[in-house]
Amino acid sequence: MIYVRQYQTIIVLASLLLTAVACKSPQSNTAPTVTNTATATTAVTPTTSTPAYLNPALPSAERAEDLLARMTLEEKIGQMTLIEKGSIQPTAVTDYFIGGILSGGGGYPTSSNTPAAWAEMVNSYQEAALATRLSIPLIYGVDAIHGHNNLKGATIFPHSIGLGATRNAELVQQIGRATAVETRATGIPWDYAPVIAVPQDIRWGRTYEAYGEDTALVSELGAAFIRGLQEDGLHSQTAVLATPKHFIGDGGTVWGTSTTENYTLDQGDMQIDEATLRALHLPPYEAAINAGAQSIMISFSSWNGTKMHAHQYLLTDVLKEEMGFAGFLVSDWQAIDQISPDYYQAVVTAINAGVDMNMVPYDYKGFITTMLTAVEKGDIPESRIDDAVRRILTVKFNLGLFETPYPDPAQLALIGADEHRALAQEAVSQSLVLLQNENEALPIPLDAKIFVAGSFADDIGVQSGGWTIEWQGKAGNITPGTTILAAIKATASGEVAYNKFGKFENFNPPADVGIVVLGERPYAEGRGDAADLSLSNSDIELIHRMGEQAEHVVVILLTGRPLLITDALSLADAWVVAWLPGTEGQGVADNLFGHHPFTGTLPYTWPTHIDQLPLGTAEGEPLYPFGYGLTTGSQ
């Protein structure tokens, strides 16, 4: 669609002439009405009159410098503004030169949650951004942390805690690439993942979003996921920009120090010395930068009382200067506002500390007005604005957004592709950790008589966990996939009876094997902070009841973290932790029946009792140490 781009180029050249005149009154910039046809590629054939920034043959840094020199202050501040899609109409994207739009957790299109509807939604914002005077494409971001997980029908991979249990960097990289393919297919080139926290207290509601408690493990798998997301090159339609998060120490906060909602750990205060911070929490960011990360999200949390979003030493002196991070720093969701009740001071502090793009996410007019005032008053130097915009534009050029602002519609067919689901199934199998296996309960003979109990056995929403379709996740049949029960029925050749209450008097007990699926209902972020990780009394009763109706009892835990099972261990022969496996429950059955060996090992220490949290602060041996896991041969 060369003619479209040239048409834009003519508009841009014409408006540049206008700018030369109107620069003194930037507010008179009027966005030309350019109708874009949403095509995959709008390449420019550079001519001598093409502005340097529109010449893809030039280095991104040179293009960014050329574009920056053409921009008004309003256009620069627009690039630093990231808005949730529900808070802005496309026309306002044009009017305010908005540089970024995101879908927050559960941010699927209001029309329908289909790949085509996602692409149409993203394209509508992009079309509005390209209608601005300089036709700067926006960058659309989403939390695709275990697949394109807000999209119904996308492949939902195991959450990172399960990937940590695989210890398999190559597998994690493959999952990163598959996630990128399904995300960019909908026109989204920016993924707010991976979490590279090093959680030290599993009572944290984001424990499952991280790979484990060990710095080296997190560094290795975080870098692998980043490489996977960006594997085919940021220009390609099968790669997305990674966003390792949340810098820094989101997993190291102290119980009870959070001041958000009724959170206790999430967004709290990390109270350690700098040497510990550098040893425990910084290496994953070094690995992420080395793996090619060009955006990093800042943490809500604080360090010894100072909000991370206000921390110039860590954001600028350490991350940007000492570590040489050349990409851009994006705030977390309205996190800047937490710095001070005085919004003006909060914005000035955060931007001067090193925040480059503000996830506002609602009141973009308030943010933009505040920024204009702060620059005009000299409280934010324009050099800081230029530094931030230069970083943002350079990444947009690296992503190829100026040449390919729209997705290739043909890619939509790859969403939920069989090859991705097969990869997810393999990841599920490798993620399972066998904690106990007495009386040769596992593997289960294919012709065994089997009872299955527990509502979680037949629930895609529960087995996917938080950040799935909805921000907090949701129990129920929320997206296509294979439940653990369905997988057991598809694999076993004998009788399989299911009763979620564990009542099988009508099925001629005893069964050879009774499988009980227990665990946690979905949650996300601080809403998952938990003082008590014990199994419920009803869970204990369910295991008891199964023990009265089956020769062998196998418990499967669907959970975002280790749970307190010490007192219940003797009630079952075998205990398997499946973490939050996602849509491909067949991977669980593959291991139960011996088609795939148990190879997973614990990414977190498994406490005997609650007093052993946070990690390393209490006496006594854990129930199972970091790295523990039994193995079984495959049949």
Residues acting as catalytic residues: 332, 525
Shorter beta-carbon distance to ligand GLC: residue 90 or 105: 105
Q: Which of 140, 190, 333, 504 binds ligand GLC (CB under 6 A)?
A: 333
Q: Are strands 496-498 and 450-453 parallel, antiparallel or unpaired?
A: parallel
Q: Are 158 and 581 contacting, i.e. CB atoms less than 8 angstroms apart?
A: yes
Q: Which of 182, 269, 332, 356 binds ligand GLC (CB under 6 A)?
A: 332
Shorter beta-carbon distance to ligand GLC: residue 148 or 245: 245
Reference 628, options 609, 605, 602; nearest CA is 602
Give CA–CA dist 433/603, Å, rounded.
10
Write down the H helix ranges in 168-315. 169-184, 215-229, 274-280, 283-290, 312
- Annotate each residue in 373-402 with x if it binds ligand GLC (CB under 6 A) or - if it does not, as one string: ------------------------------
Tell me which residues in 116-175 interact with ligand GLC (CB under 6 A).
143
Give CA–CA dist 229/286, Å, rounded.
17
- Token look-up 């993203």 returns 122
Beta carbon of residue 425, minimum distance to ligand GLC (angstroms, whole number): 27
Q: Are strands 269-270 and 302-303 parallel, antiparallel or unpaired?
A: parallel
Give CA–CA dist 83/94, Å, rounded.
13
- Token look-up 């294979």 returns 482
- Annotate each residue in 340-369 with x if it binds ligand GLC (CB under 6 A) or - if it does not, as one string: ------------------------------
Beta carbon of residue 330, minimum distance to ligand GLC (angstroms, whole number): 9
SS3 384: helix
Q: Are 526 and 299 contacting, i.e. CB atoms less than 8 angstroms apart?
A: no
Tell me which residues in 466-525 interact with ligand GLC (CB under 6 A).
525
Shorter beta-carbon distance to ligand GLC: residue 208 or 333: 333
Beta carbon of residue 357, minimum distance to ligand GLC (angstroms, whole number): 12
* The pair of three-digit structure tokens given for residue 552, joined into one six-digit string: 């062998």
Beta carbon of residue 297, minimum distance to ligand GLC (angstroms, whole number): 6
Give CA–CA dist 360/578, Å, rounded.
37
Shorter beta-carbon distance to ligand GLC: residue 93 or 360: 360
**Burial per residue of 582-600, b for 16 or more beta-carbon CB atoms within 10 angstroms, e otherwise:** bbbbbbbbbbbbbbbbbbb
The answer to whether 245 contacts ligand GLC (rule: CB under 6 A) is yes
Tell me which residues in 75-104 interact with ligand GLC (CB under 6 A).
104
Count of residues that bind ligand GLC according to CB under 6 A:
9
Reference 618, options 608, 603, 629; nearest CA is 608
- Annotate each residue in 522-561 with x if it binds ligand GLC (CB under 6 A) or - if it does not, as one string: ---x------------------------------------
Give CA–CA dist 464/462, Å, rounded.
5
Shorter beta-carbon distance to ligand GLC: residue 75 or 337: 337
Beta carbon of residue 244, minimum distance to ligand GLC (angstroms, whole number): 11
What are the backbone angles phi and psi of residue 190, rounded to the nearest 5°? -140, 125
List the helix and strand counts (H, then E) for the chain. 19, 17
Beta carbon of residue 266, minimum distance to ligand GLC (angstroms, whole number): 8
Shorter beta-carbon distance to ligand GLC: residue 221 or 517: 221
Beta carbon of residue 180, minimum distance to ligand GLC (angstroms, whole number): 16
Tell me which residues in 170-199 interact with ligand GLC (CB under 6 A).
192
- Overall residue count recorded for the chain in this entry: 635
Shorter beta-carbon distance to ligand GLC: residue 113 or 132: 113
- Contacts with ligand GLC by CB under 6 A lie at 104-105, 143, 192, 245, 297, 332-333, 525
